[in-house]
Amino acid sequence: MVLWQICICVGLIFLILELFMPLTFFLSLSIGAFATAIVSVWFASKVVLIPVFAILSICSLLIFRPFLAKNNQHNSSNETGIDGKYIGKIAKVVKSVNKNEGVISIYGERWEARSDENIEAGLDAEIIKNDSLIMYVKKSDK
């Protein structure tokens, strides 16, 4: 097998590993392997290609990791994907809210709700935080 074909196979293996374990580490190794495959067309020496692979992999790790880490932090800011859209908003209490149960309605959506104080049905409540699919509310001052 020719060296460039080996580099392509190694790059594909690293790409498959990245699909199953999204660490961005294997993506950098894959990019390094594909770039080394291009270099191996001109240089057929393993002595040259191994350092080229290492240097290109490290460079791609240093270049892409900050962008991917920034994107990952933005996406994981809230598990429900609502990004604080409801925090501070006023909702209507549909079913009395207490520490153990309750239901609120906001924008036509029904949410499970909890509160440290008892809030009767029909009153307004301010959303102070959310935890997964449960909104935490307090009596509205407005």
> pLDDT digits over 20-72, tens only?
887 778 889 999 999 999 999 998 888 999 999 999 999 998 988 777 666 55
Task: Tell the burial category of 20 from Cβ atoms under 10 Å away from its Cβ (0-12, 13-18, 19+).
Answer: exposed
Looking at 52, 75, 98, the residue that finishes a domain is 75
> Which two tokens mark 59?
């460079």
Say yes or no: 8 and 70 in one domain. yes
- Domain membership of residue 85 (yes or no) is no
Between CA 113 and CA 93 the distance in angstroms is 9
- Domain membership of residue 26 (yes or no) is yes
Please state, rounded to an integer, the average pLDDT across all residues of the chain.
86
> Which two tokens mark 58?
């490290």
> Which two tokens mark 91?
């909702």
Say yes or no: 135 and 102 in one domain. yes
Dihedral sign of CA atoms 125, 122, 107, 136 in order: positive
pTM of the model: 0.49
> pLDDT digits over 124-135, tens only?
999 998 888 899
Helix (H, G, I), strand (E, B) or coil at 77: coil
Structural domain span for residue 43: 3-75
